[in-house]
Amino acid sequence: MESPEACSSGEASPASPPPLAAAAAERPSEAAALRALVDRVRAGEVDAAREVRRLTRASARHRRKLAAAVDPLVAMLRSPAPEAGEAALLALLNLAVRDERNKTKIVDAGALEPLLGYLQSSDPNLQEYATAALVTLSASSTTKPIISASGVIPLLVEVLKEGNHQGKNDAVMALYNLSTITDNLQAILSVQPIPPLIKLLKGSKKSSKTADKCCALLESLLAFNQCPLALTSEEGGVLAIVEVLEEGSLQGREHAVGALLTMCESDRSKYRDLILNEGAIPGLLELTVHGTPKSRMKAHVLLDLLRDSPYSRPKLQADTLENIVTNIASQIDGEDRGGKAKKMLAEMVKVSMEQSLRHLQRRASFA
* Per-residue model confidence as pLDDT tens digits over 6-20: 333 333 334 444 444
CA-to-CA distance for 279 and 186, rounded, in angstroms?
A: 30
Is the pLDDT confidence value at 25 over 60? Answer: no
* Predicted pLDDT at 15: 45
What is the arithmetic mean of pLDDT over 73-95? 97
* Predicted pLDDT at 344: 54
Does some domain include residue 222?
yes
CA-to-CA distance for 50 and 40, rounded, in angstroms?
A: 11
Does some domain include residue 181?
no
- Give the single-character DSSP code of 181: S
Cβ-based burial of 339 (10 A; exposed 0-12, middle 13-18, buried ≥19): exposed
* Predicted pLDDT at 361: 56
Position 249 confidence tier, pLDDT thresholds 50, 70, 90: very high
Question: Which residue among 109, 133, 156 closes a domain?
Answer: 109
* Predicted pLDDT at 182: 94
CA-to-CA distance for 103 and 308, rounded, in angstroms?
A: 51
Is the pLDDT confidence value at 178 over 50? Answer: yes
Q: Which of 10-24, 193-207, 335-349, 350-364 has the least mean pLDDT? A: 10-24
CA-to-CA distance for 217 and 202, rounded, in angstroms?
A: 15
Is the pLDDT confidence value at 38 over 70? Answer: yes
Does some domain include residue 24?
no
Does some domain include residue 296?
yes
Is the pLDDT confidence value at 22 over 50? Answer: no
* Nearest Cα to Cα of residue 215 among 284, 148, 261, 267: 261
Residues 6+ apart with CB under 8 A from 130: 89, 115, 116, 118, 119, 121
CA–CA–CA angle 342, 343, 349 (5° rounding): 90
What percent of the chain stands above pLDDT 90? Answer: 75
* Per-residue model confidence as pLDDT tens digits over 355-365: 445 455 555 55
Supply the mean pLDDT for the chain.
Answer: 84
* Predicted pLDDT at 307: 82
Q: Which of 23-32, 96-105, 307-316, 339-348 has the least mean pLDDT? A: 307-316
CA-to-CA distance for 262 and 113, rounded, in angstroms?
A: 36
Is the pLDDT confidence value at 109 over 90? Answer: yes
What is the arithmetic mean of pLDDT over 134-152? 97
Does some domain include residue 78?
yes
pTM assigned to the model: 0.80
More confident residue, 362 or 124: 124
* Predicted pLDDT at 28: 64
Strands (E), the chain: none
Rounded-to-10 torsion of CA 337, 340, 346, 352: -100
* Per-residue model confidence as pLDDT tens digits over 206-227: 999 999 999 999 999 999 999 9
Question: Which residue among 310, 340, 357 closes a domain?
Answer: 310
Does some domain include residue 63?
yes
Does some domain include residue 104?
yes
Indicate whether 103 and 206 sit together in one domain: no
Does some domain include residue 167?
no
Question: Which residue among 109, 140, 174 closes a domain?
Answer: 109
* Predicted pLDDT at 339: 56
* Predicted pLDDT at 363: 56
CA-to-CA distance for 70 and 221, rounded, in angstroms?
A: 35
**C-beta of residue 215 within 8 angstroms of C-beta of residue 295:** no
- What residue numbers bound the domain in which 225 lies? 196-310
Domain count, the chain: 2
* Predicted pLDDT at 287: 94
